[in-house]
């Protein structure tokens, strides 16, 4: 590949090549000269033109080929706002995703054509270094404020001191008119927070942090009223004025908003039927015999013109109209190049290196998780509620067991119930919380904010304090009330440790299920399918001989078996049940641990369970890593 360079700040850094003759920063930014933020500032006069040529996207299923984009070409210029419009299903998002380099030919999906910036194919450079993509969905952490969200993104994506980040964030908040609500929590559908327009602006702000040269947005105004939509479009125009290349799909713009577009691409059924100055579009269609009434919003008129009733079965009239529009468009060489090619520099293949280390990412994620659980304490509270109600119920039922022969059955019962509930509660809580965070994790992971290991470690550590306290509370409430072995203080702590490890196992299994099944409902439904076999084949419910040979190995990897075993050995050693020490013929001798079929020592059962916890957590991590990698493809 040709050696390429980017005119940048004069200051050198590991990612920047400096060439003499580069234009200097303007005064507004000179105070931030040392900051990475200036590397890609449009004020550095880097202009990026994005071109797509003959792009097609088809889905081949058996012998059927469904063409979604039919060899479309076009251009987006720096300093301009390009709006892509068309009826629903015309292929706008598909085109946008291809322009953003987010779609690739895989399996039945066939993509052809080239997308380039300043003459360099985006496949040959790290496109993400120059561009940012704002998806249609606002995926944000509802408990954070706009300022916190932007600061989090800035700290993870760019180097600099806290003051540098804070200054950068304040500037973006101001640019996006978010300063007034910067301290309000973002909120979600269920918890009221920012308005839809403000939320959308936060999403844009998060992407603007890295000062991308190209900003791609999918329907940033959908769901907003016309006034708010106009505010968003004005902000995009301001960004375009700074020299950025802005490409956005848009639905139903008001006539006021429509007038503001620099360029317009109109799409119908995978074809482009108009491309050029938005202000010229009316005249162009009038020339084809489709005259927009004077008082009608041209955007509404075009949508009606391009609308088809049934995509798979176009009427004769629709087919003919489409044919005329496509042929007319193809017969005219659309006006493409606004910027002279001499102004467009080749772009370097910059490798995106995260400025933050794994440890820094972990620390920031941990802090964010703590803020999140402080402001949304429901998961933590549910955990406390679960253990307190369970402990109270067990107290009522097994109160003061005593040391009679019959207490053995009760002790076994209570210990096994604790094993089962630890497995189920942990699993259920993780099945609920893990998939709900998955969309945000996948989005941030795609943005390259942090590595999967940082996220996973932060999540694992963040959940621990609540778990440690909740299980301690549970143990305290039930241990003495039930009358479990009180030989010395170590008995209680060994019981507590075994129960805590069991809960950690249950949560780990929930993570595995969550990483496999991605939605709360699917994970909740599938969760028991993972826990029940491990409980069933653990050897306590059924004689080992009865377990199908193919599943007998499960008992050796069952955390519930080792957890139950650890609690049982701890309970029956030094308990002084009369039947344990009787040696005369008029009493029945008992050996509860042996009767349960346990042969490991206490240390061994702990040791095996700790290994199982680690293996479960590693499997959950690998599944999450795999999900993140697939989402990035
Ligand atoms: N992977 C896919 N498999 C099957 N069909 C697909 C796939 N991707 C896109 N399509 C189909 O391609 C067409 C265009 O989809 P696209 O999302 O690009 O439309 P759009 O113009 O953005 O519509 P809207 O305005 O509703 O967002 C739709 O009919 C969609 O169902
Ligand atoms: Mg779309």
What does residue 220 show for φ and ψ, rounded to 5 degrees? Answer: -70, -10
User: Which of 306, 338, 370 delimits the end of a domain?
Assistant: 338
- pLDDT under 70: residue ranges of the chain: 1-45, 333-354, 538-540, 543-544, 585-586, 633
Sign of the C-alpha dihedral, residues 581, 584, 587, 593? Answer: positive
Number of domains in the chain: 3
Q: Is residue 378 part of a domain?
A: yes
Residue 518 sits in the same domain as residue 602: yes
Residues in the chain: 633
Per the structure, the complete domain to which residue 140 belongs is given by 50-338
Mutate to test the pocket of ligand 1, among 94, 217, 253 (most ligand atoms within 8 A of CB): 94
Distance from the alpha carbon of residue 521 to the mean position of ligand 1, in angstroms: 26
Give the H/E segment covering residue 56: strand 50-61
93 lines ligand 1 (CB under 6 A): yes
pLDDT on residue 211: 85
Mutate to test the pocket of ligand 1, among 58, 60, 93 (most ligand atoms within 8 A of CB): 93
Cα separation of 469 and 508, whole Å? Answer: 18
Count CB-CB contacts under 10 A for residue 35. 20
Give yes or no for a contact between 616 and 623, defined as CB atoms under 8 angstroms apart.
Answer: no
Give yes or no for a contact between 232 and 221, defined as CB atoms under 8 angstroms apart.
Answer: yes
Residue 64 sits in the same domain as residue 152: yes
Question: Mapping DSSP to helix (H, G, I), strand (E, B) and coil, where does residue 447 land?
Answer: coil
pLDDT on residue 1: 37
pTM: predicted TM-score of the whole model, two decimal places: 0.80
Q: Is residue 351 part of a domain?
A: no
91 lines ligand 1 (CB under 6 A): yes
Q: Burial, 426: exposed, middle or buried (Cβ in 10 Å; 0-12, 13-18, 19+)?
A: buried
Distance from the alpha carbon of residue 92 to the mean position of ligand 2, in angstroms: 6
Cα separation of 620 and 613, whole Å? Answer: 11
Q: Burial, 529: exposed, middle or buried (Cβ in 10 Å; 0-12, 13-18, 19+)?
A: exposed
Over residues 399-451, the pLDDT tens digits come to 888 888 888 889 999 999 999 898 888 888 888 888 888 999 998 988 888 99
Residue 546 sits in the same domain as residue 561: yes
136 lines ligand 1 (CB under 6 A): no
Give yes or no for a contact between 143 and 185, defined as CB atoms under 8 angstroms apart.
Answer: yes
CATH number where 119 lies? 3.40.50.300
Residue 368 sits in the same domain as residue 505: yes
Distance from the alpha carbon of residue 89 to the mean position of ligand 1, in angstroms: 5
- Burial state string for 388-409 with b = 16 or more CB within 10 A and e = fewer than 16: eebbeebbeebeebeeeeebbe
Q: Is residue 281 part of a domain?
A: yes
Tokens for 614, please give them: 């680690």
Distance from the alpha carbon of residue 87 to the mean position of ligand 2, in angstroms: 9
Residues with CB under 5 A from ligand 2 (ion): 93
Q: Is residue 436 part of a domain?
A: yes
Residue 90 sits in the same domain as residue 41: no
Residue 329 sits in the same domain as residue 239: yes
Of all ligands present, the nearest one to the C-alpha of 102 is 1
Residue 160 sits in the same domain as residue 303: yes
270 lines ligand 1 (CB under 6 A): no
Residue 39 sits in the same domain as residue 80: no
């Amino acid at each position: 590949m040709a050696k390429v360079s980017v005119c940048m700040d004069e200051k050198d850094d590991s990612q920047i090549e400096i060439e003499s003759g580069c234009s200097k920063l303007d005064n507004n930014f000179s105070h931030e000269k040392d900051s990475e933020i200036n590397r890609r500032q449009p004020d550095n006069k880097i202009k990026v033109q994005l071109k797509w040529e003959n792009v097609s996207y088809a889905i081949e299923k058996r012998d059927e080929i469904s063409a979604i984009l039919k060899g479309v070409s076009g251009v987006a210029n720096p300093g301009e706002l390009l709006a892509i419009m068309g009826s629903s299903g015309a292929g706008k998002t598909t085109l946008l995703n291809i322009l953003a380099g987010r779609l690739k030919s895989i399996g039945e999906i066939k993509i052809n054509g080239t997308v380039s910036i300043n003459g360099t194919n985006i496949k040959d450079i790290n496109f993400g270094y120059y561009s940012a993509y704002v998806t249609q969905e606002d995926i944000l952490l509802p408990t954070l404020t706009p300022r916190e969200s932007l600061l989090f993104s800035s700290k993870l994506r760019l180097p600099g001191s806290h003051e540098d980040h804070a200054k950068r964030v304040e500037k973006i908040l101001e640019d996006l008119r978010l300063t007034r609500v910067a301290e309000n929590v973002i909120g979600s559908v269920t918890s009221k927070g920012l308005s839809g327009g403000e939320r959308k602006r936060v999403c844009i702000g998060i992407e603007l942090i890295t000062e991308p040269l190209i900003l791609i947005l999918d329907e940033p105004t959908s769901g907003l009223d016309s006034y708010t939509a106009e505010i968003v479009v004005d902000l995009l125009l301001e960004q375009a004025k700074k020299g950025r290349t802005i490409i956005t799909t848009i639905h139903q713009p008001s006539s006021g908003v429509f007038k503001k577009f620099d360029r317009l691409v109109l799409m119908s059924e995978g074809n482009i039927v108009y491309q050029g100055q938005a202000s010229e579009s009316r005249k162009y269609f009038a020339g084809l015999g489709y005259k927009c009434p004077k008082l009608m919003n041209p955007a509404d008129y075009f949508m009606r013109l391009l609308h088809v009733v049934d995509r798979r079965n176009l009427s004769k009239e629709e087919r003919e109209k489409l044919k005329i529009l496509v042929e007319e468009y193809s017969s005219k060489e659309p006006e493409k190049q606004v910027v002279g090619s001499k102004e467009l520099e080749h772009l370097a293949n910059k490798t995106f290196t995260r400025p933050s280390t794994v440890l820094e990412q972990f620390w920031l994620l941990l802090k964010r998780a703590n803020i999140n659980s402080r402001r949304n304490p429901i998961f933590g509270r549910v955990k406390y509620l679960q253990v307190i109600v369970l402990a109270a119920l067990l107290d009522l039922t097994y109160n003061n067991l005593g040391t009679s022969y019959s207490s053995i059955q009760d002790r076994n019962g209570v210990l096994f119930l604790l094993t089962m509930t630890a497995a189920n509660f942990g699993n259920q809580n993780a099945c609920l919380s893990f998939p709900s965070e998955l969309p945000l994790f996948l989005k941030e992971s795609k943005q390259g904010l942090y590595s999967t290991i940082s996220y996973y470690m932060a999540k694992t550590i963040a959940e621990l304090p609540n778990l440690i306290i909740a299980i301690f509370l549970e143990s305290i409430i039930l241990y003495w009330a039930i009358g479990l072995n009180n030989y010395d203080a170590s008995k209680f702590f060994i019981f507590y440790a075994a129960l805590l490890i069991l809960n950690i196992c249950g949560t780990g299994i929930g993570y595995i299920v969550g990483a496999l099944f991605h939605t709360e409902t699917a994970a909740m439904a599938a969760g028991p399918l993972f826990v029940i076999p491990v409980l069933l084949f653990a050897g306590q419910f059924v004689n080992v001989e009865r377990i199908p040979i193919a599943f007998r190995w499960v008992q050796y990897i069952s955390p519930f078996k080792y957890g139950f075993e650890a609690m049982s050995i701890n309970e029956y050693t030094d308990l002084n049940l009369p039947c344990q020490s009787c040696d005369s013929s008029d009493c029945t001798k008992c050996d509860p641990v042996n009767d349960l079929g346990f042969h490991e020592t206490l240390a061994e059962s702990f040791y095996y369970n700790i290994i199982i916890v680690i293996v479960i957590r590693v499997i959950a991590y690998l599944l999450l890593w795999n999900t993140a990698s697939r989402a990035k493809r």
